[in-house]
Amino acid sequence: MEVSVTFGRYIVFHFHFGIPSTVREDSVILPQSLTLSREPPILVHSDTYDDDSVSDTIAVEPNIVGFSCTHHIAAITALACYTNDELVFCGKDNGDITLYSTATGMEVQTMYQHAKGIAIKLIEYGTQSNVLASADASSRVMVWKVARTGKAWAAKGPLLDARIPDYAINQLLFDANNNWLLISTLISDIIYNVNSGIKKAVSMEKKVSRRWINHHHDPGKVICVTAEAAYIRSWEHLSDPDAAETKLVLNTNGPILVKDVAIHMNGCILSIELSGSSSQQSTFKILLLSASSFDKSFANTIEPVQRILSISQKMRHVIGSHGKKFLFLDLGMWVCSLDLETFESEYSRHCFIPNEWLSTNWDLMMKVNQKGDLIYVKGHELAIIKRALDNKVGVSMKTG
């Protein structure tokens, strides 16, 4: 199947899925059948948004890494970036946890396996201790320690191997020191001590959609975000009835799910992705909050950052952050960024994601590593878009 990546009105790259890749002289990974249109090497005005003013050119020609076909037909179902920018962990629907190279886009090796044929749903990497947690579709959780030995990688363990008996696992989260692992389902939260295996379970009185995130300043605290409120809890006492609580002013109607939460700009901004009650995959609202509201002087209510509120309506999916840049996929399928510190009315577009790259259930898997490379998953293939943030088109939002 051929997919064209377009910049403005010009077709610049053609991708053919399922064809072995080669490395060209400029170290860019491209499928063998890929053809390049060298004219023109610019981005032009896009007709997607009539209310935005877009500059006509950029100084640097786009440099995109194409899809590379893996040697296995197993689909990639989970993704986590390693601290080394050249590597990424992937979970597959055959139960394998594998290591990929962002330099080649190819699989390096299999690290370990869950039961054969049981899809991996979540991966969480603990940067402090080099531990990797994974959860599969049968609610089995495993934790392994990963390390490099010479040119090869090894996984030691498992440090933890447990099965959660109630509902499907929605989230895995290590504490800042990687001593505790939180496993969250729709009706319970369980924390395991990674070293001793001791567990503490907290049952919910009712089913509540929520996501947990480490406190940006206090490593002993964790923040629980629901569609209505946020709570600061201790890792030692998740069920603390006296935990600080604040109401979230979301201005939404009907039942909603919390799809994801993330901290950006060194703990200054908290993003919340919300989805409709019928679909955990499709984002319908993205909120950006000031993380200072979760400090010692805990606010009674928190409202979204007003200067960013208008552009949040153009966001389809949060990709992540790179320094002060907040990366997102907009409604027109452009990878965009804005400066969280200085944003007033202008943001940048970097590259376009074709509709053909999307899965039928809109389960987007796209991340940015510390180097600024974009990592995108489609089926059993991995795409690395290198230096995408170096290529940008300024977009000015009209006011009034």
Q: What is the pLDDT of residues 376-400, one digit of tens each?
A: 998 888 888 888 898 889 998 864 3
3 state DSSP class of 356: helix
- Where is 180: in which H helix or E strand? strand 180-185
pLDDT (0 to 100) of residue 387: 85
What pLDDT tens digit does each residue of the chain (400 aa) get? 333 332 222 233 434 333 233 333 333 333 333 333 333 333 333 344 444 444 443 444 444 444 455 455 899 999 999 877 789 999 999 999 999 998 888 899 999 999 999 999 999 999 999 999 999 999 999 999 999 888 788 999 999 999 998 789 999 999 999 999 999 998 999 999 998 888 888 887 778 889 999 998 889 999 999 888 888 888 988 877 656 677 776 666 667 889 999 998 887 888 999 887 655 556 678 888 887 777 755 667 777 787 888 888 889 899 999 989 999 999 888 999 999 888 988 999 999 888 777 765 557 889 999 889 999 998 888 888 888 898 889 998 864 3
pLDDT (0 to 100) of residue 356: 76
Q: How far is CA 123 from CA 210, 256, 280, in A?
A: 18, 24, 17
Domains and CATH numbers, the chain: 84-99+108-207 (2.130.10.10), 208-304 (no CATH)
pLDDT (0 to 100) of residue 276: 75
Name the residue with tokens 């020191």. 177
pLDDT (0 to 100) of residue 309: 81
pLDDT (0 to 100) of residue 77: 94
Distance CA 241, CA 205 (A): 13
pLDDT (0 to 100) of residue 400: 37
- Where is 81: in which H helix or E strand? strand 76-81
In single-letter form, the type of residue at position 68 comes to S
Residue 304 DSSP label: -
Name the residue with tokens 């895995």. 172
Distance CA 320, CA 322 (A): 7
Distance CA 81, CA 374 (A): 11
Distance CA 89, CA 99 (A): 5
Name the residue with tokens 């898997």. 365
Name the residue with tokens 């209510």. 301
pLDDT (0 to 100) of residue 360: 58
Distance CA 283, CA 305 (A): 19
pLDDT (0 to 100) of residue 306: 79
Distance CA 311, CA 306 (A): 10
pLDDT (0 to 100) of residue 65: 47
pLDDT (0 to 100) of residue 297: 56
**Which strands make up the sheet holding 188-193, listed edge to edge?**
169-174, 180-185, 188-193, 199-203
Q: How far is CA 55 from CA 52, 303, 348, in A?
A: 10, 33, 10
| Of 3, 2, 10, the residue nearest 62 (C-alpha) | 10
In single-letter form, the type of residue at position 368 comes to V
Distance CA 32, CA 283 (A): 35
